[in-house]
Structure formats: structure tokens, C-alpha cells
Amino acid sequence: MNDLLLAKSIFVGCVFLSLFVAERIIRAAPAAPSAKRLFRNGGLWLVAAIASPLIVAPITALGANNAIWNRDVFLISGATATAVLIIDLIILDLWTYWLHRAYHRVPVMWRLHEVHHRDEFLDTTSAVRFHILEIILSASLRLIPIALLATPLTTVIIFEALLLSAAFFHHSNIKMPAPLERALSWVIVTPSIHWVHHHARRSDTDSNYASILSVWDRVFSSRSRTKRTENMKIGAEGVEELSFLGLMLSPFMRRRR
Ligand SMILES: [Zn+2]
């Protein structure tokens, strides 16, 4: 298990570094002008990085170790095991789609998720900009599919690596050849799709919820018709960016929505 966690960290770290460098060489939109933003996003990531091994990982292990049935009775191996792994990953991605939709639709959940959307620029660092309570809540709610389907812990770790890598990619400010991005967008969520989700217009923010596979927004009619443009205003409509401390406290503050 420790080997898998190490492999996950190395894989995700390599994806982050590659995209972080690439988006500074071939960028699709103007770069964030302020280094303060990097510290703000980095601060939120640091809180999550400290809390994850202490809180989030034990929550995930709790679900995987307390499934309501045991898959071992099926003695799955070979090609079947690979097929089961792929189906598990697709189900976890579908769960993540609906969870993301809930974060936008349930006011108390939006209070947490809005911290992510207040970012007024997007790049790879936006992918790790989440309030720690959102991360803990997401891990807790994910216990439902994990326990119901008896999803192995190794599968959840593989999914987390794919999800984080996908998030680095679809938040990145990397400029890709249009035909390549168009082709990719039929299968996975590309920056052109996800940047519209961060458009500071409520109707676009409440669309394009998919994380890895782009199909979910088409299946569940949540795909925005808006096309990403270079100078599209990024952020959450009607609210502004805050300091690191302001972001940590913002879910508990009075607000309009
Ligand atoms: Zn969102």
C-alpha cells in the first residue's frame, strides 16, 4: 500500500510540474499578475496536505475496510479484474460529477466550494485550492459508494491520482492546438470545457461539472454552450477574491447566496 501511495505522489507530482512549467511557456490566457495568489492557493494546499494524512486518508480507509459485503468471494483475476477496475473508476467519476453538482446547488455546500471559485485566474494551482472542510466532506460522502460497492482501497488511490491529474490539466492555462483539444474534449474534460465552469457568470458556473470524463455533462444536460475566450472573466459572480485568512473564514461569514 505504501508503494502505491508513493507511486501516486510521484505520478501526480510529475503531472503538476510538467503542466506548471508548460503553462508558463505556452499560455492560453493572460497569466495571474500577483505572486500573492500563488501563496494564497499554496496556503490552502498546504492546509490540505497537512490534514490529508491525518483526517482524509483515514476516512477513505474506513470506508474501504468497512464495506457492507466482501468482493473476495468472486475470486476476480486477469482481464476481468481490469474490467472491474475500469468500471469502478467510471462509477467514482460519476459520483464526483453529482457531488460537484451538489456543491453548486446546496447553499451550505456552496459556501465551502465558493472558496475554489473565488480564484480570479486559473492555472494548475487552482486545482489544489479547496477549503479543507470541502475536502473532508467530499471524502466523507464518498464513503457511500465505497462501502456500497466494496471498492478496494487500491482502486480509490488510483482514482485519486487520476482525479488530481485531471484537475491539474483542466484548470491549467496551457495553450493546446485547437484540433487536439477538440478531439480530447469528446472523452475527457479539457481546459476549454472547465474554464467555462469558472466563468464569472452564474449560468456558466452552474454547468460543466464533469471532472475526468466529459460525457457526464452531455448525459445529464449540464453542458454550457458558452465558448471559452482568452479574456473571459474568471471568478464567482457577485463576490471577490479574499486573503488566505478570509478564504478560510468565508464559509462562516454572512453573505447573499
Ligand atoms: Zn465548481
Confidence category of residue 105, pLDDT binned at 50, 70, 90: very high
pLDDT digits (tens, 9 = 90+) for 128-152: 999 999 999 999 999 999 989 999 9
Q: Report how far ligand 1's centroid is from the alpha carbon of 204 (Å).
A: 10
Q: Report how far ligand 1's centroid is from the alpha carbon of 28 (Å).
A: 21
Q: Report how far ligand 1's centroid is from the alpha carbon of 202 (Å).
A: 11
- Answer yes or no: is pLDDT of 257 > 60: no
Q: Which residue has the higher pLDDT, 240 or 66?
A: 240
Among candidates 226, 209, 227, 225, which has minimal Cα distance to 217? 209
Q: Report how far ligand 1's centroid is from the alpha carbon of 72 (Å).
A: 37
Half-sphere exposure of 166 (CA within 13 A, CB side): 22
Q: Report how far ligand 1's centroid is from the alpha carbon of 209 (Å).
A: 6
Pick from 53-62, 134-143, 154-163: least confident: 53-62
Confidence category of residue 254, pLDDT binned at 50, 70, 90: confident
> Mean pLDDT over all residues of the chain?
92
pLDDT for 203 equals 95
Q: Report how far ligand 1's centroid is from the alpha carbon of 104 (Å).
A: 6
Q: Report how far ligand 1's centroid is from the alpha carbon of 3 (Å).
A: 32
pLDDT for 256 equals 58
Q: Report how far ligand 1's centroid is from the alpha carbon of 93 (Å).
A: 15
Model confidence, pTM: 0.92
Q: Report how far ligand 1's centroid is from the alpha carbon of 181 (Å).
A: 21
Q: Report how far ligand 1's centroid is from the alpha carbon of 88 (Å).
A: 23
Q: Report how far ligand 1's centroid is from the alpha carbon of 206 (Å).
A: 7
